[in-house]
Amino acid sequence: MLRAAVVLLLLLLLPSAAHAEKRVALVIGNSSYRYAGELANPKNDATDMAAALRTHGFQVIDGFDLNKTALERKIREFANALQGAEVGVFFYAGHGLQVSGQNYIVPTDAQLTTVAALELEVTRFEAVQRIMESEDRTNILFFDACRDNPLARNLQQAMGTRSTAIGRGLAPVQSGYGTLISYSTQPGNVALDGTGRNSPFTGALLRHLSSSDEEIMGLLRDVRNDVMRETQRRQVPWEHTALTARFYFKTQPDRVSPVRPRPQSNQPSANFDSAALPAEQPAISTPLSGGMVRIGVAGPITGGSAALGAQLKNGVEQAVKDINAAGGILGQKIQVFVGDDRADPKEGVSVANKFVGDGVKFVVGHFHSGVTIPASEVYQENGILEITPAATHPKVTERNMWNMFRTSGRDDRQGSAAAGIIAARFKGKRVAFIHDKTKYGQGLAEDTRNAMNARGLKEIFFEGVDAHDTNYSGLVSKLKASLADLVFWGGLSDTGGQILRQMRDQGLSAIFMGGDGIVDDAFAAIVGPRVVGTLMMWSPDPRTNPANNNLVQVFRRKGFEPYSYTFYSYAAVQIIKQAAEQANSLDPKKIAAVMHSGKVFHTALGELSFDDKGDVTGYTVGGRKKDQYVLYVWTKRADGKITFAEAD
């Protein structure tokens, strides 16, 4: 009897499996501003949020009415507590500020009467985000910090002519891999403080945290609907996510996915068909050893282009999982090394050198052409084969390099296709070009313009913009004065979305058209419903290939939508495997020789081969040759979802 009682006591004292994961939260509420008056709700919001998170098993570090020193002390405490955590949450309520696309937390002692105050008196949101993303975990950041900020007027006076860099509300920031960022209202808008105990956003969030069993995306959808209803649609909560797994605030032990057996056959099919894959496979442990095939995936894993980097990372990791489950490459398992280049050429070279030190022999990446080009020289010098799934500048493969390939198209071919569509659909219309001054964006705009000129059409406007700006009112005024019928954008979704949003805000109804850089839900999230009708060039969508149905579902079950770069990255790993098997070698130069030989590879993109430069010659799907670029249009489906589809 005594033994039974002891066993029962031990069972009661042991933590349950459902609460075994380490969850850490930092909750800050700033209401009493020394130089800006009192905000009614942030302190209440933070107090109630901290209590709610504790009920869900979080270790909570909280702080109220913090000056700069106290705020940074709390952030350091949070950073230490996060070590080894599976889940991190950051909640901030109070004044926020955006300047030149950067968001700032405003401590209670900030005055913002000098330009130097940006460095001395406020704290970047990005600093907290970087701390949270320094380890692989689920990260969730809530910013109820879009309230109208009187301190911004002080900073505007201090900045003088540069005050246009100060934006309204908060700027959109893309989440890194494994991260969700939730804003109390859409970018560039001001949230309401509310008349009750809590703000409209935090009040709705608290209600659903206490009552909902929904996965976080469903929970935030319900929060958004509540806030829109309460504010008569003046405030629309908005989020950006690169989460790679489902997350529930209420632990759900019954929802743990069962481990499915690996397929028994180790013989790969001659033709790729994702229907033959298991529905989902467990993660495969690949410790560093001499018998591993080491593949690096490199791209912007954090920062403004993180959603695009997540496509590369997810595509490579799923391909490796599937290939390892089928026996690996020539009997050796694959180990993945991840490099975050932050869309910066210098960081790209650092990643490349790190891969060299890690013994990586194959790289899938980088994303941006301006990063890919300098990094590829490091790879060439060290005998590493590189396949970029996204870098489209012609120079990438025009340098006579044995090791450089790409599964995506080229800007000159995309530009030619875009020019053909412009000539056919907008003959006699006024066409303006804008770009972000990057190798990709400017290159695409120039290639499209030149091909259009060759067809007898002349542009009325061609100008580059700073991608770090947030206020494009001057640009929009020029476009309005030019009477443009079509505005062609060379650049990515974050800046392009801001420009289109401001065009519509200022009454400019010209059709907006871009390249494959705006194939991203973040683009539609920034613009809102007025994105409908926007045109863009993109490769044939691999998700529409019936052979990929099961693979698409594997990604979606993880809460990840596999846009094209996901498949271009997945295919790159398939190509390495098939070329190695034909060469019967893991020597990168022998594998590159097979790739240059004209061999047809069977991939998630269809059948493809490479020319002598390392460019894809085209894609054949179901026996039919596909154009490398086709026209898509953003549209609203019957169910109300905004998405894109091939244009008629």
* pLDDT 10s digits, 427-464: 999 999 999 998 889 999 999 999 999 999 999 999 99
Please report the pLDDT score of residue 391 as a whole number: 94
pLDDT band for position 17 (cuts 50, 70, 90):
very low
Where does 412-538+630-646 sit in CATH, by number? 3.40.50.2300
Q: Domain 288-409+546-617 maps to which CATH number in 3.30.830.10, 3.40.50.720, 3.40.50.2300, 2.60.40.1760?
A: 3.40.50.2300
Whether the Cβ atoms of residue 200 and residue 235 lie closer than 8 Å to each other: yes
Is pLDDT larger for residue 611 or for residue 258?
A: 611
pLDDT band for position 313 (cuts 50, 70, 90):
very high
Is pLDDT larger for residue 550 or for residue 275?
A: 550
Helix (H, G, I), strand (E, B) or coil at 357: helix
Q: Domain 21-241 maps to which CATH number in 3.40.50.2020, 3.30.470.20, 3.60.150.10, 3.40.50.1460?
A: 3.40.50.1460
- Look at residue 237 and tell me whether its pLDDT is greater than 70: yes
Is pLDDT larger for residue 258 or for residue 28?
A: 28
Which two three-digit tokens encode residue 402?
């044995």
Distance CA 434, CA 529 (A): 22
Q: Residue 394 to residues 348, 379, 411, 483, 503: CA-CA distances in angstroms?
A: 19, 19, 6, 32, 31
**Contacting residues for 459 by C-beta, under 8 A, at least 6 apart:** 431, 432, 433, 449, 452, 453
- pTM greater than the 0.85 cutoff: no
**DSSP string covering 2-50, please?**
HHHHHHHHHHHHSPPGGG-S-EEEEEEE--EETTTEE-SSHHHHHHHHH
Please report the pLDDT score of residue 187 as a whole number: 67
Please report the pLDDT score of residue 280 as a whole number: 38
Same-fold call for 21-241 versus 288-409+546-617? yes
Residue 192 has, within 13 A of its CA and on its CB side, a CA count of: 19
Whether the Cβ atoms of residue 564 and residue 557 lie closer than 8 Å to each other: no
Q: What is the pLDDT of residues 509-567, one digit of tens each?
A: 999 999 988 887 778 878 888 999 999 998 888 998 999 999 999 999 988 889 879 99
Out of 12-21, 200-209, 241-250, the most confident range is 200-209
Q: Domain map of the chain by residue range?
A: 21-241, 288-409+546-617, 412-538+630-646
Please report the pLDDT score of residue 138 as a whole number: 93
Is pLDDT larger for residue 157 or for residue 553?
A: 553
